[in-house]
Structure 1
Amino acid sequence: MTTYMTVTDYITSFPADIQALLQQVRQTIQQAAPDATETIKYAIPTFVLNGNLVHYAAFKHHIGFYPAPTGIRAFEKELAPYKQGKGSIQFPFDQPLPLDLITKIVIYRVKQNAEKKKK
């Protein structure tokens, strides 16, 4: 497994077409959570704000998006067309990225983490 020092290192390790998709996800998250910081955790790009916010990664046929199980449950209907796991969503390369949905999920996770911090 390759160890990446920065998110940019991670993104630039992929072919140009996949880099463009990863950059779209990255920018969408940055706009939805401007106070979050970027890092590499679990060998993939991660945004942190009052704890882990979301992770994302590129695979052979999809972009994996990891908003925690609660981030998936809150958007069950909108996420129904996508393959999912307990805490993961797969956005296939042959479909447009649902950037508006990613924005909504990230905003939800920001609020969720802020509430968790207050407790």
Structure 2
Amino acid sequence: MNEIEQFILQQPVDRQERLFALAKLGRSLPNVTECISYNMPCFKLNQKPIFYFAPCKKHIGFYPTPNVITKFQEELSEYKTSKGAVQLPESRELPIALIEKMIAYRVEMIQGEH
């Protein structure tokens, strides 16, 4: 069991499925490393963060970096956002397709920096 799995298994049982779903998205990417950073699960490419996530009281915080939030601002209009975060409410299904698009955009950004 790795750090992220340990982190998720320490969360309330009713929240673990959603957290494992986000971890699965990160693990599906090639050449990705995973770690705990800022006390949150994090997936990186070329030592740069793709995204972080963490359970909060009534939502999951998804942190794909500020440029991604700006790029997808219109599609995120239904969600509470801040400079680098999206609040994914517990009361709604995870928007997997949108999260995948944001992750893909972030990966493209990182790959373009080389």
TM-score, normalised via structure 1 length = 0.89
The reply to whether residue 39 of structure 1 matches residue 35 of structure 2 is yes
Partner of 1:49: 45
Residue 103 of structure 2 aligns with an amino acid whose one-letter code is V
Q: Report the identity percentage.
A: 37
Partner of 1:112: 109
Correspondence list, 1:1-119, <5 A: 6-31=3-28, 33-50=29-46, 51-116=48-113, 118=114
More helix by share: 1
Q: CA RMSD in A?
A: 1.2
Q: How far, CA to CA, are the matches of 1:34 and 1:100 in structure 2?
A: 18
Unaligned runs of 5+ in 1: none
CA offset digits 1:21-72 (Å, max 9, x no partner): 10011112322x2321110000100001021111000011000000111011
TM-score, normalised via structure 2 length = 0.93
Question: Which gives a bigger RCO, structure 1 or 2 (Cα 8 Å, sep 6+)?
Answer: 1
